[in-house]
Homo-oligomer: A and B are copies of this chain.
């Protein structure tokens, strides 16, 4: 068994031992909101936004992007589980700022193994074969952090399955300080405020 698996299961046993009455929590988020943020290991949304178990939906992917799948999750969050406000939270020093689709497709075409990065950019060091499958998808890299938040908030607001009344807030999390910095978006109170 892997050391990581051992450690995760040991931590889980510890968590169970102090689980208390959390088994009685209901599925709908008690505080009726959802956060869409990045998978980055440095981010702990429960800590940086003050969530206890049962409080809020947390959706995470590479970049915290408003992908079709994130919107699938948000629609379920609102339509079936009653959240009423949503946050889009990207962060400084995001790995998604370090590449383009062309760069990642090229790396994956060379090998599937982990690449290395230096001042000259990314280099593939793995043994092939790679795959050209990445040519058929976008990895949603980020060129400019503020723009990515604004675009993602707007994409969510404009989605035909998203009601106009849901406020969608845009923020950037600063990994150096832990601070949430507001990103002005045109209609922070939702499209209804237009």
Contacts and interface: CB of A to CB of B under 8 A. Distances in A.
Interface string A101-141: 00010011000111101000010000000010110010110
Contacts of A39: 34, 57-59, 73, 77
Interface of A: 2, 4-5, 7-12, 14-16, 19, 22-23, 25, 27-34, 39-44, 46-51, 53-62, 67-70, 72-73, 75-82, 85, 87, 93-96, 98-99, 104, 107-108, 112-115, 117, 122, 131, 133-134, 137, 139-140, 160-163, 167, 169, 175-180
Contacts of A179: 12, 16
A12 B59 contact: no
Contact of A42 (B27, B87, B115): B27
A133 B107 contact: no
Given A68-B137, A76-B96, A79-B112, 9 more contacts: A8-B49, A15-B47, A16-B178, A41-B55, A60-B61, A69-B70, A75-B134, A79-B115, A80-B122
